[in-house]
Amino acid sequence: MAISTEDRHRAEKLRILIEYHRKRYHELDAPEISDEAYDALLSELTYLESAHPELRSDDSPTHRVGGAVLDSFKKVAHVVLQWSFDNAFDENDMKAWEERMIRYLDREQGITVANIMYCAEHKIDGLKVILTYKNGVFVQGATRGDGTVGEDVTANLKTIESIPLTLSRPVDCIVVGEAWLAEKELTRINEERAKKNEPLFANARNVAAGSLRQLDPKIARKRRLNCFAYDIDFFDGKKTSLFMPGTQEGELELLRKLGFTVNEHYKICQNQDEIARYYKTWSKKRHTLPYGVDGVVLKVNDRALQTALGHTAKAPRFGIAYKFSAVQTTTVVEDILLQVGRTGVLTPVAKLRPVLIDGSTVARATLHNEDEIKRLDVRVGDTVILQKAGDVIPDIVEVLKDLRPKHSKPFMFPKLVALCGGDGSIERVPGQAAYRCVYKDSGAQLQRKFEYFVSKKAFAIDGLGKKIIEQLMDEELLTSFDDIFTLTRDNLEHLEGFGEKSALKLLEAIQQSKTITLARLVTSLSIPQVGEETSEDLAECFGTLESLVKGASKGVEDISGIGPIIAHSVADWFSDQENKKLLGRLQKHITIVAQKKQRGGVFSKKTFVLTGTLPTLSRDEAKALIKKAGGSVSGGVSLKTSFVLAGESPGEKLSEAKKLNITVISEKEFISILKNA
């Protein structure tokens, strides 16, 4: 297949960008993008070179291992070449790797195997180190470097207490391990740096690598690094009774016997199904570990088979790194679309080249508003870094402008949008970075409002989905929220896809939804600026719908977590005569459960804001614990905020909290407060 000019230019741009980020990571210990984003760029280049062999070159970053040796350190020529593993990203990759090994053994070595056993280990996110011992005494430690030559960091490695200076037996050996920093140590170091107004470290891997590349060993000692040993490159038992085992599992046990610290979570897997179970277990539990882990390393357990399989130019054939699902990756923006929300606000959405992230395929990402588009300077055709945090919808966090196509143009909001109905005109929302439809009762908006009204957050009417709502609107059976409660069997049975049973099932679901809390009722109404958290605050403050209607007109800004913009929106909505009539009609069909106020509790009268992904708690679980302890949760940081509960990949809320001197706590501190209450 002939290569296009576009692919040729793309490959060249990728090589330049990957080489830049490779040096930042391996040589300067100062990466600018995540490992996942780097892997995604490298995977794309690998694909292009595989599809078009004429693109391959000896200096391509797809052929490299590690980085260059820094001039400030003595160079060490490795006795045994140091490799990096190829990556697998899903079960198909793993099966393909196994099939390649079986074919290679049969074709090249004349070895027929029916089943291969594997040693599965954690892929620690640290810095690879090579440790040399003579007569059981530690004589030299080095970094991987470019795989052939590394850096002599013996003095720094001697400060790591888990690296034995003298082994239990007087053997000669070369041992490979991973130096790493505990997450709690990263927190301690950053707290000390913050007091000195020094820049904070981004992650534990950077600190581990930077510590070993310090010219002063005292700095490395203060960092309290750790090390797991996982491989033996050379072994001479001399006059001892020890010998090189025949399995990878045996290697780990020998390392332990010699006095090395070995990660305890390794497991022998009989087949691919057991690998999948091990992978899924640690993918879920990785955040509970004291060290960073970004995947699982699989090695053929039989060392004779390892020797027969050998290595490619870059990596061992007998091992592979099975990476955990990415929370960051790269993809291309194919278009920027506008979607109309339930309140008429227009949200720009990026249509993406489909990409796998955090276990699911993503083809769209919200761009939030015009200001966010300008801040990112995202354009159609751009290559972007996509990030997914927990269950949150993926966000574009960065544009890789080095890969931007020529003649790209900045995105501009149009003046007319067909989805807005009427004349399609739009307007800027006063005081906000958002546009909305001028014609406020467009079909698109109304349908979104109905969908939200019946969603799990609101009335939770099972079976009343988007398609059915659209049909009912087309038949003019739905024009207002209360119409839902007047639907009959005759209304439903003649709709496409409905019969007697399905109609009765939906009517039963509607009947069951009629008892609702005040908070969920307020959520269902699509009041501008009002979501679940504000609805809870209003319900807890007023208790009944009657009190809320009366109190809203007098102002709700004094309620914790509610600012002037939200207060104004609430007052406007409840003052509107049409909305009052709607509430009157709804009350004929529904029963509102009295809202119970939380009394006392360690977080009584305290307001929380959540940001980032918590290690073990989901957002809903954290909110439930806060409310059970008497606190409330707000969507935005203000002077009324008591605590910001921050997890991994926090957003702008963390910066706002620091500006306002709001107390920021981790999940661990949060749980500790609850336990000690």
pLDDT higher than threshold 50 for residue 69: no
- Report, as an integer, the average pLDDT of 164-171: 93
For residue 655, what are the contacts with CB-CB under 8 A and spacing of at least 6? none
Which residue in this structure is represented by tokens 């793993």? 94
Q: What's the rounded mean pLDDT across residues 31-55? A: 83
Distance CA 423, CA 416 (A): 8
In this predicted structure, which of 565-569, 591-595, 596-600 has the lowest mean pLDDT? 596-600
- The segment with the largest mean pLDDT, out of 192-196, 269-273, 468-472, is 269-273
Q: How far is CA 302 from the centre of its chain?
A: 36
Kindly state the average pLDDT of the residues 279-305.
Answer: 92
Share the mean pLDDT of the chain: 86
pLDDT value at residue 72: 60
Maximum mean pLDDT: which of 97-101, 111-115, 150-154: 97-101
Q: What is the rounded CA–CA span in Å between residue 510 and residue 317? A: 59
pLDDT attached to residue 560: 61
In the annotation, is 123 catalytic? yes
Give residue 558's pLDDT band: very low, low, confident or very high (50, 70, 90). Answer: low
Q: How many residues does the chain have?
A: 677
Confidence category of residue 325, pLDDT binned at 50, 70, 90: confident
User: What's the pLDDT score for residue 276?
Assistant: 95
- Would residue 197 be called left, alpha or beta, if left means φ above 0 and alpha means ψ between -120 and 50 degrees? left
Asked if residue 606 has pLDDT above 70, the reply is yes
- Asked if residue 538 lies in contact with residue 558, where contact means CB atoms within 8 angstroms, the answer is no
Please check whether residue 6 is in contact with residue 48, taking contact to mean a CB–CB distance below 8 angstroms: no
Partners of residue 321 on adjacent β-strands: 87, 297
pTM, rounded to two decimals: 0.55
Could you tell me which residues come within 8 angstroms of residue 623 by beta carbon, excluding any fewer than 6 positions away?
Answer: 533, 610, 633
Q: Residue 524: helix, strand or coil by DSSP? A: helix
* pLDDT surpassing 80 at residue 2: no
pLDDT at 306: 95
Q: What angle do CA 525, 526, 528 make, to 5 degrees?
A: 130
In the predicted model, is pLDDT for residue 130 greater than 50?
yes
Among 53-67, 108-122, 207-221, 456-470, which stretch is predicted with the lowest mean pLDDT?
A: 53-67
Name residue 437's beta-bridge partners: 426
DSSP letters of 447-501?
A: HHHHHHHTSTTTT--TT--HHHHHHHHHTT--SSGGGGGG--HHHHHTSTT--HH
Q: Which residues of 458-473 are buried (b: 16+ CB within 10 A; e: fewer)?
A: bbebeebeeebbebbb
**Domains of the chain from N-terminus onward:** 5-64 (1.10.287.610), 87-323 (3.30.470.30), 329-418 (2.40.50.140), 443-513 (1.10.150.20), 517-593 (1.10.150.20), 607-676 (3.40.50.10190)
Q: In three state form, how does the secondary structure of 15-65 look?
A: HHHHHHHHHHHHCCCCCCCCHHHHHHHHHHHHHHHHHCHHHCCCCCHHHCC
Q: Look at residue 26 in the predicted model and tell me its pLDDT.
A: 62
Provide the 10 A C-beta neighbour count for residue 257. 13
- Whether 143 and 127 have beta carbons less than 8 Å apart is answered as yes
Segment 84-110 mean pLDDT: 91
CA-CA-CA-CA dihedral for 103, 109, 114, 117, to nearest 10 = -100
Summarize pLDDT for 473-511 with one digit per residue, the tens.
877 788 788 889 988 887 888 788 888 888 899 999 999
Q: Report, as an integer, the average pLDDT of 451-472.
A: 90
- pLDDT tens per residue across span 6-29: 888 888 899 889 888 877 776 666
Highest averaged pLDDT of the listed ranges 232-246, 436-450, 623-637: 232-246
pLDDT band at 70 (very low <50, low <70, confident <90, very high): very low
Q: What is the pLDDT of residue 341?
A: 76
Which residue has 């606190």 as its token pair? Answer: 631
* Percent over 90 (pLDDT), the chain: 33
- Choosing from 13, 74, 95, 123, the catalytic residue is 123
Report the DSSP beta bridge partners of residue 297: 121, 321
Interval 296-319 mean pLDDT: 93
Q: Please give the Cα distance from 348 to 363 (Å, whole number).
A: 14
Place of tokens 């009343």: 464
Give the distance from CA 23 to its chain's centroid: 24
pLDDT of amino acid 6 = 85
pLDDT confidence tier of residue 428, bands split at 50, 70 and 90 = confident
Could you tell me where the DSSP H helices lie in 158-196? Answer: 183-195
Question: Residue 598: pLDDT band by 50, 70, 90 thresholds?
Answer: low
279: pLDDT confidence band, cut at 50, 70 and 90? very high
424: left (phi over 0), alpha (psi -120 to 50) or beta: left
Whether 172 has a pLDDT exceeding 90, the answer reads yes
